[in-house]
Structure 1
Amino acid sequence: MGHQHLGQLPATRQWQSVIGMIAGGSDVAEIAAATSSVAAASLEAYADDPTVRRALYVLAQIPLAARDDNVAFPDALRLIGLDLDIPDLIHIASACLDDLDRHALRGRSDFGEIVSLSAVESLQAVTRRSLDDLFDPQSEAERLERTREVLSDLATVKQFGLLAEDFFSRVLRRHLEYYLSRDLPNHVGISKRFSSLREHQAFTEAFYLHCREAARIVTRFAGEWFSKNTFEGGITEKGAGGFVHIAMGKLRDELRMRSGTHG
Protein backbone atom coordinates (compact mmCIF):
# COMPACT_ATOMS: atom_id res chain seq x y z
CA MET A 1 0.00 0.00 0.00
CA GLY A 2 1.56 3.28 -1.10
CA HIS A 3 1.78 6.68 0.48
CA GLN A 4 -1.67 8.24 0.90
CA HIS A 5 -1.75 11.97 0.19
CA LEU A 6 -4.26 14.33 1.74
CA GLY A 7 -5.08 15.53 -1.75
CA GLN A 8 -4.73 18.50 -4.03
CA LEU A 9 -6.40 21.78 -3.24
CA PRO A 10 -10.15 21.15 -3.61
CA ALA A 11 -11.49 22.57 -6.87
CA THR A 12 -14.83 23.31 -5.27
CA ARG A 13 -17.07 26.29 -4.64
CA GLN A 14 -16.25 25.92 -0.93
CA TRP A 15 -12.52 26.26 -1.50
CA GLN A 16 -13.02 29.19 -3.87
CA SER A 17 -14.96 30.78 -1.03
CA VAL A 18 -12.00 30.28 1.31
CA ILE A 19 -9.68 31.93 -1.22
CA GLY A 20 -12.11 34.81 -1.48
CA MET A 21 -12.15 35.17 2.30
CA ILE A 22 -8.34 35.39 2.40
CA ALA A 23 -8.25 37.99 -0.37
CA GLY A 24 -11.14 39.90 1.17
CA GLY A 25 -9.56 40.28 4.59
CA SER A 26 -11.68 37.89 6.68
CA ASP A 27 -10.35 37.24 10.16
CA VAL A 28 -8.39 34.19 11.27
CA ALA A 29 -11.34 32.48 12.97
CA GLU A 30 -13.49 32.60 9.84
CA ILE A 31 -10.68 31.38 7.58
CA ALA A 32 -9.69 28.55 9.94
CA ALA A 33 -13.27 27.35 10.25
CA ALA A 34 -13.88 27.56 6.50
CA THR A 35 -10.66 25.66 5.80
CA SER A 36 -11.65 23.03 8.34
CA SER A 37 -15.01 22.66 6.61
CA VAL A 38 -13.33 22.10 3.24
CA ALA A 39 -10.84 19.66 4.77
CA ALA A 40 -13.48 17.90 6.89
CA ALA A 41 -13.69 14.86 4.63
CA SER A 42 -10.01 14.02 5.04
CA LEU A 43 -10.09 14.95 8.74
CA GLU A 44 -12.93 12.50 9.30
CA ALA A 45 -11.32 9.77 7.20
CA TYR A 46 -7.97 10.07 8.94
CA ALA A 47 -9.50 10.15 12.42
CA ASP A 48 -9.31 6.35 12.05
CA ASP A 49 -5.74 6.38 10.72
CA PRO A 50 -3.71 3.72 12.57
CA THR A 51 -0.89 6.20 13.17
CA VAL A 52 -3.27 8.53 15.01
CA ARG A 53 -4.49 5.68 17.16
CA ARG A 54 -0.97 4.50 17.89
CA ALA A 55 0.30 8.02 18.64
CA LEU A 56 -2.35 8.68 21.26
CA TYR A 57 -1.80 5.23 22.75
CA VAL A 58 1.96 5.80 23.08
CA LEU A 59 1.48 9.29 24.55
CA ALA A 60 -0.82 7.77 27.17
CA GLN A 61 1.44 4.82 27.95
CA ILE A 62 4.73 6.70 28.40
CA PRO A 63 3.60 8.47 31.63
CA LEU A 64 2.21 5.18 32.96
CA ALA A 65 5.51 3.44 32.19
CA ALA A 66 7.36 6.18 34.06
CA ARG A 67 5.05 5.72 37.05
CA ASP A 68 5.40 1.91 37.19
CA ASP A 69 7.53 1.04 40.24
CA ASN A 70 7.51 -2.68 39.48
CA VAL A 71 9.50 -2.49 36.25
CA ALA A 72 12.67 -0.58 35.37
CA PHE A 73 11.77 2.42 33.22
CA PRO A 74 13.63 1.27 30.06
CA ASP A 75 11.97 -2.15 30.32
CA ALA A 76 8.54 -0.57 30.79
CA LEU A 77 9.11 1.51 27.67
CA ARG A 78 10.12 -1.57 25.69
CA LEU A 79 6.86 -3.25 26.72
CA ILE A 80 4.94 -0.57 24.81
CA GLY A 81 7.22 -0.83 21.78
CA LEU A 82 9.86 1.83 22.43
CA ASP A 83 13.26 0.24 21.93
CA LEU A 84 15.95 2.21 23.77
CA ASP A 85 18.69 1.87 26.35
CA ILE A 86 18.98 5.44 27.66
CA PRO A 87 15.57 6.70 28.89
CA ASP A 88 16.20 10.43 28.54
CA LEU A 89 13.86 12.76 26.68
CA ILE A 90 15.86 12.81 23.45
CA HIS A 91 16.07 9.02 23.17
CA ILE A 92 12.43 8.52 24.20
CA ALA A 93 11.27 11.00 21.55
CA SER A 94 13.45 9.29 18.92
CA ALA A 95 12.14 5.84 19.89
CA CYS A 96 8.58 7.17 19.75
CA LEU A 97 9.10 8.46 16.21
CA ASP A 98 10.67 5.15 15.15
CA ASP A 99 7.72 3.26 16.61
CA LEU A 100 5.18 5.40 14.76
CA ASP A 101 7.14 5.03 11.52
CA ARG A 102 7.09 1.23 11.88
CA HIS A 103 3.35 1.17 12.49
CA ALA A 104 2.73 3.46 9.51
CA LEU A 105 4.95 1.49 7.13
CA ARG A 106 2.15 -0.33 5.29
CA GLY A 107 -0.25 2.57 5.19
CA ARG A 108 1.89 5.68 5.23
CA SER A 109 -0.06 8.89 4.73
CA ASP A 110 0.50 12.63 4.82
CA PHE A 111 -1.82 12.84 7.80
CA GLY A 112 0.09 10.05 9.56
CA GLU A 113 3.29 12.06 9.18
CA ILE A 114 1.54 15.13 10.58
CA VAL A 115 0.46 13.08 13.58
CA SER A 116 3.89 11.51 14.16
CA LEU A 117 5.67 14.85 14.20
CA SER A 118 2.98 16.42 16.38
CA ALA A 119 3.13 13.60 18.94
CA VAL A 120 6.91 13.77 19.33
CA GLU A 121 6.97 17.57 19.45
CA SER A 122 4.22 17.63 22.08
CA LEU A 123 5.96 15.10 24.28
CA GLN A 124 9.16 17.14 24.14
CA ALA A 125 7.50 20.54 24.57
CA VAL A 126 5.28 19.62 27.52
CA THR A 127 8.01 17.68 29.30
CA ARG A 128 10.64 20.38 28.84
CA ARG A 129 8.45 22.89 30.64
CA SER A 130 9.42 21.04 33.81
CA LEU A 131 12.96 20.18 32.74
CA ASP A 132 14.43 23.68 32.82
CA ASP A 133 17.46 22.27 34.60
CA LEU A 134 18.03 19.61 31.93
CA PHE A 135 21.43 20.99 31.01
CA ASP A 136 22.51 21.99 34.52
CA PRO A 137 25.41 20.03 35.99
CA GLN A 138 23.93 16.70 37.07
CA SER A 139 25.05 13.14 37.15
CA GLU A 140 23.66 10.86 34.46
CA ALA A 141 21.62 8.98 37.03
CA GLU A 142 20.11 12.20 38.43
CA ARG A 143 19.22 13.45 34.96
CA LEU A 144 17.50 10.20 33.98
CA GLU A 145 15.62 10.03 37.27
CA ARG A 146 14.46 13.63 36.84
CA THR A 147 13.20 12.82 33.34
CA ARG A 148 11.28 9.81 34.65
CA GLU A 149 9.71 11.89 37.43
CA VAL A 150 8.57 14.61 35.04
CA LEU A 151 7.09 12.07 32.62
CA SER A 152 5.31 10.28 35.47
CA ASP A 153 3.71 13.60 36.44
CA LEU A 154 1.88 13.55 33.09
CA ALA A 155 -0.21 10.62 34.36
CA THR A 156 -2.83 12.88 35.95
CA VAL A 157 -6.12 14.30 34.71
CA LYS A 158 -4.74 17.84 34.43
CA GLN A 159 -1.32 17.08 32.98
CA PHE A 160 -2.44 14.48 30.44
CA GLY A 161 -5.18 16.88 29.39
CA LEU A 162 -2.53 19.53 28.70
CA LEU A 163 -0.41 17.01 26.77
CA ALA A 164 -3.41 16.05 24.62
CA GLU A 165 -4.29 19.72 24.10
CA ASP A 166 -0.78 20.44 22.82
CA PHE A 167 -0.90 17.38 20.56
CA PHE A 168 -4.25 18.19 18.98
CA SER A 169 -3.37 21.87 18.53
CA ARG A 170 -0.32 20.82 16.50
CA VAL A 171 -2.31 18.26 14.49
CA LEU A 172 -5.02 20.82 13.79
CA ARG A 173 -2.55 23.52 12.79
CA ARG A 174 -0.59 21.26 10.47
CA HIS A 175 -3.72 19.80 8.91
CA LEU A 176 -5.26 23.17 8.11
CA GLU A 177 -1.90 24.63 7.13
CA TYR A 178 -1.46 21.75 4.66
CA TYR A 179 -4.25 23.32 2.62
CA LEU A 180 -3.77 27.00 3.41
CA SER A 181 -0.01 27.14 2.89
CA ARG A 182 -0.34 26.36 -0.81
CA ASP A 183 -2.50 29.42 -1.45
CA LEU A 184 -1.45 32.00 1.14
CA PRO A 185 1.78 32.97 -0.71
CA ASN A 186 -0.41 34.06 -3.64
CA HIS A 187 -1.81 36.82 -1.44
CA VAL A 188 1.47 38.54 -0.55
CA GLY A 189 2.39 41.71 -2.42
CA ILE A 190 1.30 45.22 -3.29
CA SER A 191 -2.51 45.62 -3.29
CA LYS A 192 -2.96 42.10 -1.91
CA ARG A 193 -4.19 40.81 1.46
CA PHE A 194 -0.65 40.85 2.89
CA SER A 195 1.35 43.82 1.66
CA SER A 196 4.53 42.42 3.21
CA LEU A 197 6.03 39.21 4.54
CA ARG A 198 5.70 40.72 8.00
CA GLU A 199 1.92 40.93 7.62
CA HIS A 200 1.87 37.37 6.33
CA GLN A 201 3.89 36.24 9.36
CA ALA A 202 1.54 38.08 11.72
CA PHE A 203 -1.41 36.25 10.16
CA THR A 204 0.40 32.91 10.52
CA GLU A 205 1.12 33.56 14.19
CA ALA A 206 -2.50 34.51 14.82
CA PHE A 207 -3.57 31.35 13.01
CA TYR A 208 -1.31 29.21 15.24
CA LEU A 209 -2.76 30.89 18.33
CA HIS A 210 -6.28 30.25 17.08
CA CYS A 211 -5.53 26.54 16.69
CA ARG A 212 -4.07 26.36 20.21
CA GLU A 213 -7.13 28.05 21.66
CA ALA A 214 -9.51 25.81 19.71
CA ALA A 215 -7.70 22.69 20.95
CA ARG A 216 -8.56 23.58 24.55
CA ILE A 217 -11.94 21.99 23.89
CA VAL A 218 -10.31 18.56 24.27
CA THR A 219 -8.29 19.28 27.44
CA ARG A 220 -10.77 18.23 30.10
CA PHE A 221 -12.24 15.46 27.95
CA ALA A 222 -8.77 13.98 27.38
CA GLY A 223 -7.79 14.11 31.03
CA GLU A 224 -11.00 12.46 32.17
CA TRP A 225 -10.74 9.82 29.43
CA PHE A 226 -7.18 9.02 30.52
CA SER A 227 -8.11 8.72 34.19
CA LYS A 228 -11.26 6.66 33.60
CA ASN A 229 -9.63 4.17 31.24
CA THR A 230 -6.48 3.83 33.35
CA PHE A 231 -8.55 2.76 36.34
CA GLU A 232 -11.03 0.64 34.38
CA GLY A 233 -8.80 -1.98 32.83
CA GLY A 234 -6.18 0.09 31.05
CA ILE A 235 -5.78 2.07 27.84
CA THR A 236 -5.81 0.08 24.60
CA GLU A 237 -5.03 1.12 21.04
CA LYS A 238 -8.66 0.51 20.11
CA GLY A 239 -9.80 2.72 22.97
CA ALA A 240 -7.30 5.39 21.94
CA GLY A 241 -8.75 5.27 18.42
CA GLY A 242 -12.25 5.84 19.74
CA PHE A 243 -11.05 8.77 21.79
CA VAL A 244 -9.31 10.36 18.79
CA HIS A 245 -12.45 10.05 16.67
CA ILE A 246 -14.50 11.96 19.25
CA ALA A 247 -11.77 14.54 19.83
CA MET A 248 -11.55 15.33 16.11
CA GLY A 249 -15.30 15.94 16.06
CA LYS A 250 -15.00 18.28 19.03
CA LEU A 251 -12.30 20.24 17.24
CA ARG A 252 -14.41 20.66 14.10
CA ASP A 253 -17.42 21.78 16.13
CA GLU A 254 -15.29 24.24 18.09
CA LEU A 255 -13.92 25.80 14.91
CA ARG A 256 -17.41 26.23 13.50
CA MET A 257 -18.65 27.73 16.76
CA ARG A 258 -15.77 30.19 16.88
CA SER A 259 -16.56 31.41 13.38
CA GLY A 260 -20.27 31.69 14.14
CA THR A 261 -21.20 29.00 11.58
CA HIS A 262 -22.68 25.61 12.30
CA GLY A 263 -23.30 24.19 8.85
Structure 2
Amino acid sequence: MGHIRLGTLPQSKKWREVVDLLEADASLDEVAAAAARASELDLGRASDDPAFQHVTSLLVQLPFWARSPGFDQVLAGLNFDPNALSSVSSLLANLSGSIDQSFFELGGSSDAGELARSAFLETLSVELRHRLPSLFEPTPQEIRKALASFSSGANFAPLARAFFAKLTYKSLDYYLSRELANHTGANKRFSDDAQRREFESALAQHTVEASRIVEEFAGGWYGKTIWKEQNLDQEAINKFTRYAFKKMRSELVRRREIA
Protein backbone atom coordinates (compact mmCIF):
# COMPACT_ATOMS: atom_id res chain seq x y z
CA MET A 1 0.00 0.00 0.00
CA GLY A 2 1.37 3.40 -0.93
CA HIS A 3 1.77 6.27 1.46
CA ILE A 4 -0.96 8.88 1.60
CA ARG A 5 0.07 12.17 0.03
CA LEU A 6 -2.27 15.01 0.76
CA GLY A 7 -2.83 18.10 -1.32
CA THR A 8 -5.48 17.38 -3.97
CA LEU A 9 -8.15 19.66 -2.51
CA PRO A 10 -7.53 22.97 -4.33
CA GLN A 11 -8.98 21.49 -7.55
CA SER A 12 -12.12 20.05 -5.95
CA LYS A 13 -15.62 21.49 -6.02
CA LYS A 14 -15.82 21.31 -2.23
CA TRP A 15 -12.58 23.24 -1.91
CA ARG A 16 -13.98 25.91 -4.24
CA GLU A 17 -16.76 26.32 -1.69
CA VAL A 18 -14.13 26.97 1.01
CA VAL A 19 -12.51 29.64 -1.16
CA ASP A 20 -15.89 31.24 -1.86
CA LEU A 21 -16.61 31.39 1.88
CA LEU A 22 -13.28 33.08 2.54
CA GLU A 23 -13.97 35.61 -0.18
CA ALA A 24 -17.43 36.25 1.26
CA ASP A 25 -15.98 36.93 4.75
CA ALA A 26 -17.93 33.96 6.16
CA SER A 27 -17.67 33.00 9.82
CA LEU A 28 -15.02 30.72 11.28
CA ASP A 29 -17.68 28.04 11.89
CA GLU A 30 -18.65 28.04 8.21
CA VAL A 31 -15.06 27.93 6.94
CA ALA A 32 -14.05 25.15 9.36
CA ALA A 33 -17.08 23.02 8.46
CA ALA A 34 -16.53 23.49 4.73
CA ALA A 35 -12.82 22.65 5.05
CA ALA A 36 -13.69 19.52 7.05
CA ARG A 37 -16.11 18.40 4.35
CA ALA A 38 -13.59 19.15 1.60
CA SER A 39 -10.84 17.18 3.30
CA GLU A 40 -13.07 14.24 4.27
CA LEU A 41 -11.75 11.79 1.68
CA ASP A 42 -8.06 12.49 2.24
CA LEU A 43 -8.33 12.48 6.04
CA GLY A 44 -10.50 9.38 5.99
CA ARG A 45 -7.80 7.57 4.02
CA ALA A 46 -5.11 8.64 6.47
CA SER A 47 -6.00 5.75 8.80
CA ASP A 48 -4.91 3.35 6.04
CA ASP A 49 -1.46 4.94 5.71
CA PRO A 50 1.35 2.81 7.26
CA ALA A 51 3.28 5.82 8.60
CA PHE A 52 0.13 7.26 10.17
CA GLN A 53 -0.71 3.85 11.64
CA HIS A 54 2.71 3.59 13.25
CA VAL A 55 2.24 6.87 15.12
CA THR A 56 -1.29 6.05 16.28
CA SER A 57 -0.12 2.64 17.51
CA LEU A 58 2.41 4.45 19.72
CA LEU A 59 -0.31 6.78 21.02
CA VAL A 60 -2.33 3.79 22.17
CA GLN A 61 0.38 1.32 23.19
CA LEU A 62 3.20 3.39 24.69
CA PRO A 63 1.31 4.11 27.96
CA PHE A 64 0.40 0.41 28.24
CA TRP A 65 4.02 -0.61 27.73
CA ALA A 66 5.22 1.95 30.30
CA ARG A 67 3.45 0.11 33.10
CA SER A 68 4.79 -3.32 32.10
CA PRO A 69 7.89 -4.95 33.64
CA GLY A 70 9.57 -5.22 30.24
CA PHE A 71 9.45 -1.51 29.40
CA ASP A 72 13.25 -1.22 29.15
CA GLN A 73 13.28 -3.97 26.54
CA VAL A 74 10.46 -2.23 24.66
CA LEU A 75 12.44 1.00 24.55
CA ALA A 76 15.54 -0.85 23.36
CA GLY A 77 13.45 -2.43 20.61
CA LEU A 78 12.35 1.08 19.59
CA ASN A 79 16.04 2.11 19.35
CA PHE A 80 15.88 4.44 22.35
CA ASP A 81 19.19 5.22 24.04
CA PRO A 82 19.72 4.13 27.68
CA ASN A 83 19.14 7.66 29.00
CA ALA A 84 15.94 8.28 27.05
CA LEU A 85 13.92 8.93 30.20
CA SER A 86 16.38 11.40 31.70
CA SER A 87 14.04 14.26 30.72
CA VAL A 88 10.85 14.85 28.78
CA SER A 89 12.90 16.48 26.03
CA SER A 90 15.12 13.40 25.80
CA LEU A 91 12.10 11.10 25.66
CA LEU A 92 10.55 13.14 22.84
CA ALA A 93 13.83 13.29 20.91
CA ASN A 94 14.23 9.51 21.16
CA LEU A 95 10.63 9.00 20.18
CA SER A 96 11.04 11.23 17.13
CA GLY A 97 14.20 9.37 16.14
CA SER A 98 12.44 6.03 16.53
CA ILE A 99 9.57 7.22 14.35
CA ASP A 100 12.08 8.40 11.74
CA GLN A 101 13.64 4.93 11.67
CA SER A 102 10.26 3.26 11.37
CA PHE A 103 9.25 5.57 8.52
CA PHE A 104 12.50 4.65 6.74
CA GLU A 105 11.76 0.94 7.18
CA LEU A 106 8.26 1.48 5.83
CA GLY A 107 9.70 2.97 2.65
CA GLY A 108 9.56 6.64 3.55
CA SER A 109 7.48 9.20 5.34
CA SER A 110 4.11 10.55 4.21
CA ASP A 111 2.09 13.70 4.66
CA ALA A 112 -0.37 11.87 6.91
CA GLY A 113 2.46 10.34 8.94
CA GLU A 114 4.25 13.65 9.42
CA LEU A 115 1.07 15.40 10.56
CA ALA A 116 0.41 12.58 13.03
CA ARG A 117 4.03 12.60 14.29
CA SER A 118 3.95 16.35 14.91
CA ALA A 119 0.58 16.19 16.68
CA PHE A 120 1.68 13.23 18.82
CA LEU A 121 4.96 14.76 19.99
CA GLU A 122 3.35 18.11 20.77
CA THR A 123 0.50 16.44 22.64
CA LEU A 124 2.79 14.19 24.66
CA SER A 125 5.04 17.12 25.56
CA VAL A 126 2.14 19.14 26.98
CA GLU A 127 0.28 16.30 28.65
CA LEU A 128 3.37 14.80 30.32
CA ARG A 129 4.46 18.15 31.74
CA HIS A 130 0.99 18.60 33.21
CA ARG A 131 1.58 15.42 35.22
CA LEU A 132 5.14 16.07 36.34
CA PRO A 133 6.59 18.27 39.12
CA SER A 134 7.25 21.79 37.89
CA LEU A 135 9.83 23.00 40.41
CA PHE A 136 12.41 20.25 39.92
CA GLU A 137 13.63 18.20 36.98
CA PRO A 138 11.64 14.94 37.02
CA THR A 139 13.41 11.65 37.55
CA PRO A 140 13.25 8.83 34.98
CA GLN A 141 10.93 6.99 37.34
CA GLU A 142 8.55 9.96 37.49
CA ILE A 143 8.55 10.31 33.69
CA ARG A 144 7.76 6.64 33.27
CA LYS A 145 5.00 6.84 35.87
CA ALA A 146 3.48 9.88 34.14
CA LEU A 147 3.56 8.09 30.79
CA ALA A 148 2.03 4.95 32.32
CA SER A 149 -0.76 7.01 33.87
CA PHE A 150 -2.33 7.39 30.40
CA SER A 151 -3.00 3.64 30.33
CA SER A 152 -6.33 4.02 32.11
CA GLY A 153 -9.47 4.87 30.20
CA ALA A 154 -10.05 8.02 32.27
CA ASN A 155 -6.57 9.37 31.50
CA PHE A 156 -6.30 8.12 27.93
CA ALA A 157 -9.46 10.06 27.02
CA PRO A 158 -7.96 13.57 27.44
CA LEU A 159 -4.72 12.41 25.78
CA ALA A 160 -6.67 11.19 22.75
CA ARG A 161 -8.74 14.36 22.70
CA ALA A 162 -5.65 16.57 22.69
CA PHE A 163 -4.04 14.47 19.94
CA PHE A 164 -7.06 14.58 17.63
CA ALA A 165 -7.60 18.27 18.28
CA LYS A 166 -4.03 19.02 17.20
CA LEU A 167 -4.16 16.54 14.33
CA THR A 168 -7.43 17.93 12.98
CA TYR A 169 -6.17 21.50 13.22
CA LYS A 170 -2.90 20.60 11.51
CA SER A 171 -4.80 18.74 8.79
CA LEU A 172 -7.13 21.65 8.10
CA ASP A 173 -4.27 24.13 8.29
CA TYR A 174 -2.27 21.98 5.85
CA TYR A 175 -4.80 22.96 3.20
CA LEU A 176 -6.04 26.29 4.51
CA SER A 177 -2.70 27.98 5.19
CA ARG A 178 -1.87 28.18 1.50
CA GLU A 179 -5.29 29.60 0.67
CA LEU A 180 -5.32 32.05 3.58
CA ALA A 181 -2.16 33.66 2.21
CA ASN A 182 -4.13 34.44 -0.97
CA HIS A 183 -6.68 36.31 1.13
CA THR A 184 -4.21 38.49 3.03
CA GLY A 185 -3.52 42.08 2.08
CA ALA A 186 -5.26 45.37 1.34
CA ASN A 187 -9.00 45.00 0.64
CA LYS A 188 -8.89 41.26 1.38
CA ARG A 189 -10.33 39.01 4.10
CA PHE A 190 -7.25 39.57 6.29
CA SER A 191 -5.68 42.98 6.15
CA ASP A 192 -2.30 41.70 7.35
CA ASP A 193 -0.46 38.63 8.68
CA ALA A 194 -1.43 39.40 12.28
CA GLN A 195 -5.12 39.24 11.41
CA ARG A 196 -4.59 35.98 9.56
CA ARG A 197 -2.78 34.50 12.57
CA GLU A 198 -5.71 35.48 14.77
CA PHE A 199 -7.97 33.46 12.48
CA GLU A 200 -5.59 30.50 12.63
CA SER A 201 -5.52 30.69 16.44
CA ALA A 202 -9.29 30.79 16.53
CA LEU A 203 -9.42 27.75 14.24
CA ALA A 204 -7.08 25.87 16.59
CA GLN A 205 -9.36 26.69 19.55
CA HIS A 206 -12.37 25.69 17.47
CA THR A 207 -10.93 22.21 16.93
CA VAL A 208 -10.11 21.92 20.65
CA GLU A 209 -13.74 22.61 21.48
CA ALA A 210 -14.97 20.18 18.81
CA SER A 211 -12.63 17.46 20.09
CA ARG A 212 -14.73 17.01 23.22
CA ILE A 213 -16.64 14.45 21.16
CA VAL A 214 -13.49 12.29 21.00
CA GLU A 215 -12.94 12.43 24.75
CA GLU A 216 -16.49 11.22 25.31
CA PHE A 217 -15.86 7.83 23.69
CA ALA A 218 -12.06 7.37 23.83
CA GLY A 219 -11.91 6.35 27.47
CA GLY A 220 -14.58 3.68 27.09
CA TRP A 221 -12.94 2.36 23.94
CA TYR A 222 -9.54 2.12 25.66
CA GLY A 223 -10.89 0.30 28.70
CA LYS A 224 -12.91 -2.15 26.60
CA THR A 225 -10.30 -2.79 23.91
CA ILE A 226 -7.04 -2.73 25.85
CA TRP A 227 -8.05 -4.10 29.23
CA LYS A 228 -11.22 -6.15 28.74
CA GLU A 229 -10.43 -7.65 25.34
CA GLN A 230 -6.60 -7.42 25.65
CA ASN A 231 -6.59 -6.29 22.02
CA LEU A 232 -3.55 -4.27 20.92
CA ASP A 233 -3.64 -5.16 17.24
CA GLN A 234 -3.32 -2.49 14.58
CA GLU A 235 -6.74 -3.05 13.04
CA ALA A 236 -8.45 -2.25 16.35
CA ILE A 237 -6.42 0.96 16.57
CA ASN A 238 -7.23 1.80 12.93
CA LYS A 239 -10.96 1.45 13.60
CA PHE A 240 -10.60 3.80 16.56
CA THR A 241 -8.78 6.47 14.52
CA ARG A 242 -11.27 6.22 11.64
CA TYR A 243 -14.15 6.70 14.04
CA ALA A 244 -12.40 9.60 15.79
CA PHE A 245 -11.84 11.38 12.47
CA LYS A 246 -15.46 10.76 11.48
CA LYS A 247 -16.75 12.17 14.77
CA MET A 248 -14.47 15.21 14.53
CA ARG A 249 -15.67 16.01 11.00
CA SER A 250 -19.30 15.54 12.00
CA GLU A 251 -18.87 17.77 15.03
CA LEU A 252 -17.26 20.56 13.00
CA VAL A 253 -20.21 20.46 10.60
CA ARG A 254 -22.71 20.32 13.47
CA ARG A 255 -21.15 23.34 15.16
CA ARG A 256 -21.54 25.31 11.96
CA GLU A 257 -25.25 24.37 11.77
CA ILE A 258 -26.02 25.53 15.31
CA ALA A 259 -23.83 28.67 15.20
**TM-score when normalising by structure 2:** 0.89
SS in 1 for 2:151: coil
- 1:236-247 pair list within 5 angstroms: 236-247=233-244
Give CA-to-partner distance per residue, 1:186-223, whole Å, 9 cap, x none.
Answer: 21222211123222121111100011111221113211
**Matched residue, 1:31:** 31
SS in 2 for 1:5: coil
Deviation of 1:2 (Å): 7.9
Equivalent of residue 223 in structure 1, options 219, 223, 243: 219
The one-letter code of the counterpart of 1:53 is Q
Aligned length: 253
Identity percentage of aligned residues: 30
The one-letter code of the counterpart of 2:249 is R
Of 82-91 and 28-37, more deviation after overlay is shown by 82-91
**Matched residue, 2:75:** 77
Provide the rounded CA distance (Å) in 1 between the counterparts of 2:223 and 2:2: 37
Equivalent of residue 211 in structure 1, options 179, 186, 207: 207
**Matched residue, 2:188:** 192
**TM-score when normalising by structure 1:** 0.87
SS in 1 for 2:232: coil
Provide the rounded CA distance (Å) in 2 between the counterparts of 1:223 and 1:229: 10
Residue 4 of structure 1 contacts residue 108 of structure 1 at CA under 8 Å; is this kept in 2?
no
Provide the rounded CA distance (Å) in 2 between the counterparts of 1:237 and 1:209: 30
The one-letter code of the counterpart of 1:221 is F
Q: Runs of 5+ in structure 1 lacking a partner?
A: none
Residue 55 of structure 2 contacts residue 120 of structure 2 at CA under 8 Å; is this kept in 1?
yes
- 1:30-49 pair list within 5 angstroms: 30-49=30-49
Residue 74 of structure 1 contacts residue 84 of structure 1 at CA under 8 Å; is this kept in 2?
no
Provide the rounded CA distance (Å) in 2 between the counterparts of 1:103 and 1:75: 17
Residue 22 of structure 1 contacts residue 31 of structure 1 at CA under 8 Å; is this kept in 2?
yes
Deviation of 1:107 (Å): 5.0
Q: Runs of 5+ in structure 2 lacking a partner?
A: none
**Change beyond 3 A, Cα 1:207–1:224:** same
**Change beyond 3 A, Cα 1:229–1:199:** same
**Change beyond 3 A, Cα 1:247–1:126:** same
**Matched residue, 1:233:** 230
Residue 4 of structure 2 contacts residue 45 of structure 2 at CA under 8 Å; is this kept in 1?
no
The one-letter code of the counterpart of 2:125 is Q
Indicate whether 1:202 and 2:201 are aligned.
Answer: no
**Matched residue, 2:53:** 53
**Change beyond 3 A, Cα 1:90–1:75:** farther
Deviation of 1:145 (Å): 1.3
SS in 1 for 2:47: helix
